[in-house]
Every structure is written in C-alpha cells, then in structure tokens.
A and B are shown apart, each in its own frame.
Chain A
C-alpha cells in the first residue's frame, strides 16, 4: 500500500483538484484506490456527490480501521472509493491531543486497509497542526501543490524547516507547480528555476478554467474532460509520480 498526501500550508493551491484527479488516475491504473477527505470543508466529498453517514464523525475516524472501513463509500467511478469528511473534523486537532501517540494515529488507523487498496490518497486541510503531523507520518509521499509565486515558495520552505526541526523524512516531500500562467513573467521564472530540481516534480499543471468547472461536473476532470490541457498535465504528473515511487529506494 502506498499513501499519498496532497498537502499545503496555504489554501487555494489546488490540493483537492489534484487529489481527486490523481486518485482517479490511480484507480484506473492501479485499482482500487481510496481517497480520504480530511478537510472539514469536504470539498472532495462534494466533488463526488458523497455525504457521510449521519452517525459518522471525527470520533469514529479516530477509532480507526473497522469504523473507517464501514464508512467508506463507492464513487460513481469503478474502483474509486472515498472516505467522506464530516464537519466534525474541525475538532480533530483537539481530539487528537487526547490520544496517546497522535502523530502515529492516522498510520495505525488505516493499517488494515492495506489488503484492499494499493493506493490511498489524503486530501488535507490547509494548516500545520497535529493532524498534519499525523498525515506526515502516515504518508509515503507528501505532494505539495504550489502556485509559482514567492509566497507559495515561502510556505514550502516553512514546511521543509518544520520537517528538519522535527527530524521527519524530508525525502517524502515533493512539490509541483499548479495554476501556471505562461503570460506571467514571475510564473515562468520560478518554474524555470525550480521545476524538476531536488524536491520538485518536473510536470506542471497549467491554469485551466476547466479545473474550476469540476465543481459543476462534480467529477474528476480526467474522467469527464480527459483531453483538456490540465487533465493531460495531471496524466503526465501521475506517470512521473509512479515512476518516482517505483524507483525510490525503500527504507
């Protein structure tokens, strides 16, 4: 089982769109795939038209394995399942504080899912909290979407510093650029400087209004508009990521 988190301290950088599209591509090439919506806003749940069961809450999520398993729902796409986020997830950080080893909680809670899903994606909320730390431990790869701006790069540096400070494995972190607009000089310069360098993937996701329309389609872009530039870029990004995972030395 490989776990991939779509994470950024900053909001509005394309975490959910990336999680939904990459998870969809994973479900096609490495079925079946699970996407865990960890953001109380429930954006990826919304994209798949899924609402959690009435009795599902952050408490059940923290109980793990069987409780998580019972609340997984099938999306409208073959081999792609989703664990929806509940609004009570906003309390996850406080609840995690009461747990014994909060950093390892998520990793332990999904242990039993490994027989079913070769790939699990986490769509994370934008902040750096105890839940984020739990995600860092549970993930094999932490994908960080970045708009090519100085502010984005700054938060990326902050994340790296945090990892070093907490003695976490920085090799898990992989940044990639989203919402790239060629007409903007700053975008071009930043992409040229960082893309494909250490800790960055080569593939960039161009700005494409079709991505915003995912809220109307309520489906992965690669499922409904596979030929638009952003969908093609996500396909390339998934292939690059697979290649990266396959060739990564195992620890």
Chain B
C-alpha cells in the first residue's frame, strides 16, 4: 500500500506574488510566506535521452538528486549528492533504491549534466483555522538563462498537497483558477521542457538509429544519400564527446555509424560512381580500424567485474595488473585517436564526404546503372537477398558449428539487420519489429560466441607474451583460469547455436518477411 502525493502545476502570467494574485478572491485559508529561495537546478540525462524517453526527469537541487515522473511531477527516487558532477553513473549515487531505478534507465550510458538554471522559488503555506498547513503553493520562475520562447508563461505554480487534506487542495486549486492571471493547467513536463529550453537542450534530439523517413518512390540514389547523411550526423554528434571519455557508448555509436555507412556502400551496388565509391569505402574501413583497439579495451574494462567473478576468490586480485595495464593502454590509445579526430585530415575527409553526398550526381548508365531504381524495389530485393543468405549459410553450418562458420554468419546477420533498420520507414512498424526481435535472438547468440572467442584469443596471446618470471606465476595462472572459463562458456554458447538459428529459420519468420515484401509488390 503506497501512494505518492502528486503536485499540481499551473501557469500564471502574474509574478507579483500570491497575496497580490489572490486579491479579491475569497480564499478560506491564510497564506504564510516562507523565505524566498534562489536555487540552482541541474538537469541530467544520458546523451541518448534514456530518462526522458521513459518519461523521467533527473534534477539535482539543494544537494539532492531527484528522479521525477514527468507526467505528474511526483518524486520517484531521491538521494543526497553534494556537488553537481559533469556526469555520473548509477553506482556513483548513495541511495540504493535510486541506484536501481537509475540502472533500469541506463547501465552503460553516463548521466550527463545538460545544463543548469537559476530558479527563484517563492513559497506560501496555506493554513487552516488551527494554523495547520494544508497545502503549500510555490511560484517557480526561471531566472537565468531565460527560456528562448517568449510565449512561455512567466511563472509556474506548483500546488503541493499535504497528505490527508485533499478537499483543501481542491478548494485552493479552484481559487487559483478563478483568477484572471491564471493561464491554465500545465504539467511538470512543461516546466521541465522550459528549463531544458533555457539551457538550449532539445529533448530526444539524439538517437543512434537512423531516423530518416524514406519515400518508396524516390530513387535509391537519393534515399541512400539521405541515409548516409543521417549516419554522418551520428558520426559528428559523437566525435567531440569521445575524447572526454565519459562513457563507452560515444565510441560505440560512432563505430556503428561507420559500420552502417560501410554497409550501405557495400550493399548498394551500382548507385555511386565506382571510383569515388571505392575511395570512400577504403577511407571508412581505415577510420573504423583506428577505433578497434579502443573498443576492445572498452569491452574488457566493462567486463572487469565479470572476469574477476569467473575466478575463485583467491585468484582474483592477481588480475589487477592486467586491468591496470589495459587502462594505461586505453589512455594512450584514446589520446592518439582524439588527436586524429582533431586533425585537418579527418576534418577534410568528412567535409569532402558531405559535399559528395550533397553534390550533384548525374546518373550514368555505365557507371551507376541502378541509381534511378525505386527505393522500395531496392529495399525489397536487398533485404530478400540478405535474408536468403542468412538462411542458406545458417543451414549449411555443420552439426558442431565451427568458429569460421559462426563468424561469417554473424556478419551476414549484421548486414541484414542494418538493411532492415535503414528501410524501416518503408515497412509496417509492427511486422518489422517482430522480424527484428527474432533476428536479435540469433544475433545475440552469435555475438556472445564471437565476443568470447575474441576475448579468449586476446587473453591467450597476452599470456603467451608474458615474461617468464616467478613474480608472474599467480598472474599467469589467473589468466589461464580465465581463458579456460571463457572457453567453457563459449562452448556452451556454441551448443545452443542450432536452437537459436531454428527460432529464426521457421515458417513464422518467413511469413513475416513475406508480409514485409508484399507491402511493395
């Protein structure tokens, strides 16, 4: 049994104060003013707006971090936090319940400070005949920076209920509404949006997934250019954050955007001039390569705790030097890559790429024979081709799947996934979602398998290069133990491959694909 009290929000066009506001209104309570408060409000969310997307706001005010329900303004989590950090992870927070709530919002992405606003809060307590507070009314104004939109109300009123006094609250709300300066009921979300607007933050402005709405009748060349420009946007959105080393997902999204770019270039043949195409293909492959080590190190460091737990307690501490070494390597690698991101070469390359995508392209039947094909036709044929390839290769896999087979199938699946995501806007969302969900199960199996193989190989080669000294014995035995544990895990995953593939290779999935294709028959 638990109810949380929900404040009510109103906007008013008069900021002179409540006693003035209520002048001439018959209000059955006396109002007692509390000292005026000026507070700094810090807003947090992940770079990809995980809190906002789940209808939550994260605000730090008066040394308390609050998780607020955007719909009704009620507080769903709260924890002390002295300073306003640039960013934090759930585990940096003190209060356990709030930590687990933040973890449900985001495990990998850090919560970043979006901005801070100076607010002024004037509070009045509404007292009954016993001088008991039955509600409190707060007049909230954003002092600095000012929201850009001049249409926004001048002040927000928050009517805070006190438990056990619902009728009094209702009376007070009615009194508020009867005033000419009352401009309407509003929500916490409106207030929070105004705060974000003041710090020039646009909720939901970033998503790593392509959000382009393609037109089925457009030429594939135009659609491909649109898609590539949108992945370029993702590349640009992440590049300035990577050097800050706030969380691993900036680099991850950056890499995915590169891979998506490469995937479009590789799969859509005959739509771009071959010379230019091969130049950009090569350049993006190299760009991707520059980030490989960094990503691997990120993955190992993210798994540090899991790796430790795979070993008996007595063998765990000797792994520390491995992770310290990894952290140092990561630092070095990040420095090198950040330098590259800031280089003229890099800037120029992306600029040329953008001009290429935005420039005039006159289709030539010899070099770009498919450029004028209808987007929907290409979408259907390329998805069909990629899907058939996954099925064909998957069915060819031997009873005990080999490493090479699984590696290759993983890449096939990735290609299919990217195509489905690129052309998502052309197909019915529900069917597409179901197809993606089934593909995802298979991809997870293959992903885990390949990750475990890579990790095992990396650790094994690290172990082989280890100096043969007496001091290294405990470390070497821990690494050996880890390699064995990862090997066992990988073999279990290998055994479950055929089950995972069967859930994808079945009548139901085929029907879903056909449903997609029929949309553009």
A residues whose Cβ falls under 8 Å from a Cβ of B: 48-51, 53, 65-66, 69, 71-74, 76, 81, 112-113, 115-116, 218
Contacts and interface: CB of A to CB of B under 8 A. Distances in A.
Contacts of A74: 5, 162-165
A115 B165 contact: no
Contact of B1 (A48, A69, A81, A218): A69
Given A49-B132, A50-B132, A51-B130, A73 B2 contact: no
Nearest to B136: A76
B163 A73 contact: yes
Given A66-B1, A113-B1, A116-B1, A49 B131 contact: yes
A66 B1 CA distance: 8
22 contacts: A49-B130, A49-B131, A50-B130, A50-B132, A51-B130, A66-B1, A69-B1, A72-B164, A73-B162, A73-B163, A73-B164, A73-B165, A74-B5, A74-B162, A74-B163, A74-B164, A74-B165, A76-B125, A76-B132, A81-B164, A113-B1, A116-B2
Interface of B is mostly: loop
A51 B131 CA distance: 11
Interface centre among B2, B5, B131 (most CB of A within 10 A): B2
B133 interface: yes
Contacts of B2: 115-116
A115 B1 CA distance: 7
B161 to A, nearest CB: 8
Contact of A71 (B131, B133, B164): B164
A72 B5 CA distance: 13
Contacts of A48: 132
Given A49-B130, A49-B131, A49-B132, A72 B163 contact: yes
Interface residues of B, number: 12
A16 to B, nearest CB: 18
Interface string B130-145: 1111000000000000
A81 B131 contact: no
Contact of A65 (B1, B164, B165): B1
A74 B270 CA distance: 72
Contacts of A112: 1
Interface string B98-134: 0000000000000000000000000001000011110
Interface in B162-181: 162-165
A73 B167 CA distance: 13
Contacts of B162: 73-74
Interface in B1-15: 1-2, 5
Contacts of B5: 74
Given A49-B131, A76-B133, 10 more contacts: A48-B132, A50-B130, A51-B130, A72-B164, A73-B162, A73-B165, A74-B164, A76-B132, A81-B163, A116-B2
A113 B1 CA distance: 7
**Nearest 10 pairs of A and B residues by beta carbon:** A73-B164, A74-B163, A49-B132, A74-B162, A112-B1, A49-B130, A76-B133, A116-B2, A115-B2, A69-B1
A66 B130 CA distance: 27
A72 B130 CA distance: 17
A28 to B, nearest CB: 12
Nearest to B1: A112
A94 to B, nearest CB: 27
B139 to A, nearest CB: 19
A48 B164 CA distance: 13
Contacts of B131: 49, 218
Contacts of A113: 1
A35 to B, nearest CB: 13
B168 to A, nearest CB: 11
A40 to B, nearest CB: 19
Contacts of A53: 164
A53 B163 CA distance: 12
